């Protein structure tokens, strides 16, 4: 169904329909996705980035990363004239009624805390150029206290007569589903200090509310203080990470005791208080958000003197790291690799790794558990061939020392072991009987619990997942329990 579009925007102030003009600062994954989707909802949008090549790509209708559905929406909205991109902050300052900060907040080198230098430079470079009252909305994931700090930056750098205000409205985008997550959020959060800021945020979300009304849905709105708004995002990510590590801890116990973590997850997931989502056992979480947010949250809690309250997140992180190692140990056991001085020695083995991205339907390899396992196999002497439907270019840049195949069949040819490390549909749907004819050893580790175990076993495969006891030779069993 086509989405409703607002009439064109008047030269100054808000449009006749009361829609503010939206400028997005930073056109990485977050900013580009928001800019395109808000234009689709009928807003007049300008995307800014200091990186001229990024802006040139977007302005030419090319999304520089893989996100299903985004490319088509980018082209439609560029053509409709609702969406433009620029490297000029003067243009941004003149255009925006609302400036949305979407810059990166990576983990600081050599520390757990977040690096806010991009936020600082976005604000201090933009606000001296603004000539009328405007709202600055933060969206990047940041430590609690950042909005108040931005307010002080604005006070130091802006014309005080303009009354520029600041607010915080976190995002909850999932890669691979980001378009839908912007258009149809399951909630929106407005961290504000004034009724004006709250009204502006409502206006900036009117397109989302209108679409929900058309589809007979409601979008819950939580209006709160700055600190709560900032905490909502990190608390949500910390909870999701904890849920994943919880089931991976259960997987370890299942392996030691003879239980089956998949059945366990099904059984506890039927309890509505627990729920089945995010109880997928396997090689654990990665990506640009969960791991770094978890660490930055702990660092901030320590600064606030409540480090103990989040000490369990350290354990969540450790369980996650261990999940990556467990798949390597399982592989060593299945291949009968001898124990070397720093771990198993994979020399002489050929391993096909299926998947490199941190999740399917994405080309993102940041902190990817799959890539970490691939790197470990290679460092331990295995001959590794990797196949990923979308992530090969990024993976090759990060881990150039392994071979990358053009197809699934090419990757598995003559392999002693297959490891499924990302749950791409192509791997779920692959024909195990056809693959069985290509390999040297009929062993598969399903590191994401995504294959049909019975179908693979029927095709002659020795099929293993994490979280089920493996029948191993006596001398290598210790790797599984160490
Ligand atoms: C996450 C949050 O879900 C999103 O709300 C936030 O805005 C950004 O961070 P994303 O990084 O896209 O989104 O990935 P997500 O779908 O949450 O998955 C994160 C990682 O957890 C992936 O590596 C995934 O494979 C893993 N995962 C997920 C599991 O290992 N088991 C599960 O059951 C679910």
Find the catalytic residue in 37, 289, 337, 450: 289
- Predicted pLDDT of residue 218: 96
**Ligand 1 proximity of 320 Cβ (cutoff 6 Å):** no
Which ligand 1 atom is the nearest neighbour of the CA of 174? 12
10 Å CB burial of residue 237 (0-12, 13-18, 19+) is buried
> Cα(1) to centroid of ligand 1, in Å?
29
Among 400, 406, 357, CA closest to 67: 357
**Which residue's CA is the nearest one to ligand 1's atom 10?**
174
Alpha-carbon distance of 62 to 72, in angstroms, equals 9
> Cα(290) to centroid of ligand 1, in Å?
7
- Predicted pLDDT of residue 479: 40
> Cα(291) to centroid of ligand 1, in Å?
10
**Ligand 1 proximity of 191 Cβ (cutoff 6 Å):** no
Structure tokens at 26: 């930073």
Alpha-carbon distance of 222 to 99, in angstroms, equals 21
Alpha-carbon distance of 106 to 114, in angstroms, equals 6
**Ligand 1 proximity of 234 Cβ (cutoff 6 Å):** no
Alpha helices by DSSP H, listed for 161-310, are 178-183, 195-204, 206-214, 226-257, 261-269, 290-303
HSE-up of residue 39 (Cα within 13 Å, Cβ side): 26
**Which residue's CA is the nearest one to ligand 1's atom 25?**
359
- Predicted pLDDT of residue 110: 86
- Predicted pLDDT of residue 476: 43
The interaxial angle of helices 29-40 and 70-80, nearest 10 deg, is 50
Q: Are 183 and 151 in contact (CB under 8 A)?
A: no
Q: What is the mean pLDDT of each run of 10 residues along the chain (482 residues)?
A: 37 59 97 98 97 97 95 98 98 98 90 90 97 96 94 96 97 96 98 97 97 97 98 97 98 95 97 98 96 94 97 98 96 94 93 98 96 97 97 97 97 98 98 97 97 95 88 42 30
Q: Would you call 1 helix, strand, or coil by DSSP?
A: coil
> Cα(259) to centroid of ligand 1, in Å?
25
Annotation says 289 is catalytic = yes
**Ligand 1 proximity of 47 Cβ (cutoff 6 Å):** no
> Cα(299) to centroid of ligand 1, in Å?
21
Architecture category of domain 319-481 in CATH: 3-Layer(aba) Sandwich (3.40)
- Predicted pLDDT of residue 17: 54
Residues of the chain with CATH 3.40.50.720: 16-224, 319-481
Q: Are 416 and 351 in contact (CB under 8 A)?
A: yes
Q: Are 128 and 156 in contact (CB under 8 A)?
A: no
Q: Are 310 and 388 in contact (CB under 8 A)?
A: no
- Predicted pLDDT of residue 482: 28
Q: Are 464 and 439 in contact (CB under 8 A)?
A: no
Alpha-carbon distance of 141 to 16, in angstroms, equals 33
Does domain 16-224 bear CATH number 3.40.50.720?
yes
């Amino acid at each position: 169904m086509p989405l409703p579009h607002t009439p064109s925007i008047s030269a100054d102030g808000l449009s006749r329909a009361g829609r503010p003009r939206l400028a997005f600062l930073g056109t990485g994954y977050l900013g580009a996705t928001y800019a395109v989707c808000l234009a689709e909802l009928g807003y007049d949008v300008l995307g800014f980035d200091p990186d001229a090549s990024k802006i040139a790509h977007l302005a030419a209708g090319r999304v520089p990363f893989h996100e299903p559905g985004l490319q088509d929406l980018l082209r439609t909205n560029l053509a409709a004239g609702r969406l433009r991109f620029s490297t000029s902050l003067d243009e941004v300052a003149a255009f925006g009624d609302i400036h949305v900060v979407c810059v990166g907040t990576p983990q600081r080198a050599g520390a757990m805390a977040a690096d806010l230098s991009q936020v600082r430079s976005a604000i201090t470079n933009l606000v001296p150029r603004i000539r009328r009252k405007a709202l600055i909305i933060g969206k990047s994931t940041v430590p609690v206290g950042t909005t108040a700090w931005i307010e002080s930056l604005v006070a130091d750098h802006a014309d005080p007569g303009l009354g520029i205000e600041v607010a915080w409205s976190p995002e909850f985008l999932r890669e691979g589903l980001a378009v839908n997550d912007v258009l149809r959020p399951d909630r929106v959060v407005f961290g504000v200090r004034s009724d004006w800021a709250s009204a502006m945020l409502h206006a900036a979300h009117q397109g989302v509310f209108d679409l929900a009304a058309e589809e007979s849905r409601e979008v819950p709105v939580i209006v709160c203080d700055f600190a709560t708004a900032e905490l909502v995002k990190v608390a949500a990510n910390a909870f999701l990470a904890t849920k994943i590590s919880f089931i991976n801890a259960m997987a370890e116990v299942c392996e030691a005791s003879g239980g089956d973590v998949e059945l366990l997850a099904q059984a506890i997931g039927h309890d509505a208080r627990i729920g089945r989502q995010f109880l997928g056992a396997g090689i654990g979480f990665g990506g640009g958000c969960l791991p770094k947010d978890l660490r930055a949250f702990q660092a901030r809690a320590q600064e606030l003197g409540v480090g103990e309250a989040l000490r369990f997140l350290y354990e969540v992180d450790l369980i996650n790291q261990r999940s990556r190692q467990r798949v390597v140990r399982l592989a060593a056991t299945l291949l009968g690799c001898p124990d070397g001085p720093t771990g198993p020695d994979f020399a002489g083995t050929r391993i096909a790794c299926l998947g490199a991205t941190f999740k399917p339907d994405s080309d993102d390899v940041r902190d990817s558990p799959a890539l970490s396992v691939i790197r470990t196999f290679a460092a331990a002497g295995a001959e590794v061939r990797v196949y990923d439907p979308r992530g090969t270019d990024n993976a090759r840049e990060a881990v150039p020392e392994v071979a990358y195949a053009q197809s699934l069949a090419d990757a598995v040819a003559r392999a002693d072991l297959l490891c499924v490390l990302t749950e791409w549909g192509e791997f779920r749907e692959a024909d195990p009987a056809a693959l069985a004819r290509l390999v040297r050893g009929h062993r598969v580790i399903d590191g994401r619990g995504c294959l049909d175990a019975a179908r693979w076993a029927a095709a002659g495969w020795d099929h293993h997942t994490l979280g089920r006891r493996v029948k191993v030779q006596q001398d290598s069993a210790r790797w599984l329990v160490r």
